[in-house]
Every structure is written in C-alpha cells, then in structure tokens.
Amino acid sequence: MGITGIRGRGAVSNRAGRFESLALEAVDDGWGLLDEPLPPLNTTVLPEPAQSVITRNSSPDIPFDQSINPYRGCEHGCIYCFARPTHAYVNLSPGLDFETRLFFKKDAAQRLREELSRRAYRCSPINLGANTDPYQPLERRLGITRGILEVLAESHHPVTIVTKSALVVRDLDLLQRLAAEQLTRVLVSITTLDDGLKRRMEPRAASPAARLATVKRLSDAGIPTGVMFAPVIPAINDHELESIVASAAGAGAATAGYLLLRLPGEVKELFYEWLDTHYPDRANRVRNRIRQLRGGRDNDPRFGSRMRGQGPWADLLRRRFESSCRRHGLGHGRTAPLETALFRPPSRAPGQMELW
C-alpha cells in the first residue's frame, strides 16, 4: 500500500530534519500494520521565549527589511511553505510537526515595545507574515498578532501584512487607524480558486471564496489591499493566473503580485512526496518544469531569480501576469512607500505616560 494523504494535513509524513542524526522509516513487516489507519494527529501549542521579536534581512528580493513572526509552525498546513525547514532548528520535523507542534511568542507585544523604545531604533516598515501566517487559527484564541498591531498603531509605525486568513478582518479597527495615516498595506494570498486543490494543498487555510470576501471587506473599509498569487506551481495552478487576477480585481484589490514555487531545504522532499500522493499522473511533468525554471535544479536560492525563475516559461508567466494586470487595472511591482515620519516611540509599559 502506498502513502496516502492525512485528512486535514498538508504533509503526508514526518520526515526527519537535516540536523537529526537518526531517520525513521515505516516498513511493512508482512503483518499489514501499515494498512491500519493512524490515530488522530493532535495539535500541541507551547510558548516560546523571545529576547527580541524584530527580525532583519538585507535581501534585495524582499520589499522590507524588518519582520515579526508571532508563531513558529503553522496550522494551515500548506505543503509548499518555505518556512517548514525552521522546525529543524528546534529538533522537530518540517513535515507534520510543523503543522501540529506550534509555538507562540507570548510576550511579543512587550518585547516590541522595548525594541521600538530604544534610542538607536530607526523606523522602517515591519512585515507580519514573512514566514508563517500571523492570522493562523491559533491567533483567534491567543491574540498575539492583535497585541503587536496595538503597539504599532500606538507608535504610528508602518506595517505590512501577508495572510491567507479571513481572521484579519477582526482587526479592522486598528487597520483603519493605520491606513488613515498611510501606515499599512494588506496582501491576501490566493493560491487557487479550486476548493478541491485548496483542501489538498492548504488544508486548514480559508477557502478561496472566503479570501476574496476578505479582500472586499478590507478594500471597502479603506485598507490598501492587494492579492498575491503565490506560489505559482507549474501544471498544478499556473493555469489559474488570469482568473485569480480577474477575481482579485472584482473583489476590490488595488494591486497584485506573484511568486514562483520555492523548494528550499526539506521542502523539496515533502512537496514531491505530496505530489506523488495526490497527483501521480503529472508528478514527473511538474518536476521537469520546475527544473526548467531553476536552471536544471530543484531550487535556485540566488537573489534575482529565486522568486520568479528563469528561462522561456518564466518569461511567459511574467508576460501573462503583466497583461492580465493591465487588463483589469491592477498595479504590480513595487508600491508606494508607507509613511515613516509619524513614528513615535511607545511607552515601555501599556498605559505608562512619558515625562517629555
């Protein structure tokens, strides 16, 4: 019996991370034990202490140099998530562990207050959602992202958000305050309009219809809103490019962008395992197209090509995207910068008054 998908989960195994000295593999000993259904996979959640919460980068491919990740791991279970390898750093699998063994930065808002209050701090937009989704289901109960936004709003600090969750509309009050001062922009990730593909590829994320409704809610509320078609996967969802751009425009999005599938670290084996499980009929075609886009490799980490690929197929994808954006009046590429001159350091404690 071959590997089968696990209901409600993206990964189909719990492959060992690259730092593990041992790797376990299930083997059928003839007693048919591999044919028996596995028990339900429960989710565990633990606090993760943090001395600081702002992460900095100098990548020319990313339009921000500061980010905050309120959570490690993500319940959405997106099989393609390039953050999966980070679980290997805490001796957990980037596979099923990434979706079920989650960590949250309990004191994130207070750590952020402290960092923004330092004399040496220089304001530049902070991104929420660079790795894992800041509005994954866990946020509904814990409110870590909400606490971070409250500090940023108090400080008049610019923030960008990337999410595939409808939960972001819970924070419309804060987002409207920020938007009134040109301090925020929200990007909603829409990977497919096909509910069946969504359930297999992003099992616990919001439905395509819910994401489009979120775009409309945000846009109607005056929040600068865009859509990210990410990742584009050849022979899986690339044919949806035009329909996603059209649907985004219809929902009120002002901008659109796209990113090509990336397979860093352990993501490659997890994705190909998922591909063989759910799409065996086209698995080889997908692999070959990915390698054509990546100069013969499965992954290309180089700046300048890692997000968009290279070669004729990448050029065709770019032309299709730009043409579709023009047709529907959507902006694409770099957007207008957010305001930074309004920033004021917050008090170190909520409600604390400053002397001067």
pLDDT for the residue numbered 308:
86
Q: For position 30, what pLDDT does the model report?
A: 59
For residue range 142-151, what is the model confidence (pLDDT) as tens digits? 999 999 999 9
**% pLDDT > 70, the chain:** 90
Contact call for residues 125 and 68 (beta carbons, < 8 A): no
pLDDT in tens, 68-80: 999 999 999 999 9
Beta-bridge partners for 260: 232
Tell me how many degrees the CA angle 196-86-194 measures, rounded to the nearest 5.
10
How far apart CA 215 and CA 248 sit, in angstroms, is 8
Tell me which residue has tokens 């100069």. 295
Q: How confident is the model at residue 279 (pLDDT cuts 50, 70, 90)?
A: very high
Q: Read off the pLDDT band of 10 (50, 70, 90).
A: confident
Per mean pLDDT, which of 29-38, 99-108, 304-313 is the most reliable?
99-108
Spell out the CATH class of 41-328: alpha beta
Q: What is the pTM of this model?
A: 0.90
Q: Using the predicted structure, report yes or no on whether residue 2 has a pLDDT greater than 60.
A: no
Mean pLDDT of the chain: 91
Average pLDDT over residues 197-202: 97
pLDDT of residue 17: 66
pLDDT (tens digit, 9 = 90+) per residue, 332-348?
877 789 999 999 999 87
The Cα 47–Cα 75 span in angstroms is 15
Q: For tokens 């929902």, what's the residue? A: 251
Query: DSSP alpha helices (H): ranges in the chain?
Result: 96-100, 108-116, 138-142, 144-154, 172-179, 195-201, 208-220, 241-250, 267-278, 283-293, 312-328
Task: Dump the DSSP string for 85-123.
Answer: GGGGGGT--TTHHHHHEEEE-TTHHHHHHHHHTSTT---
> What's the pLDDT tens digit per position in 37-65?
555 678 999 999 888 999 998 887 788 89
Span of 48-57, 109-118, 189-198 with lowest mean pLDDT: 48-57
- What is the distance between the alpha carbons of residues 64 and 55, in angstroms, rounded to a whole number? 11
- Summarize the confidence of residues 164-190 as an average pLDDT: 98
C-alpha to C-alpha distance for 122 and 278, rounded to whole angstroms: 47
The one-character DSSP state at 148 is H
Chain segment 280-336, per-residue pLDDT in tens: 999 999 999 999 999 999 998 887 787 889 999 999 999 999 999 999 999 987 778
CA 64, CA 160: separation in Å to the nearest integer? 9
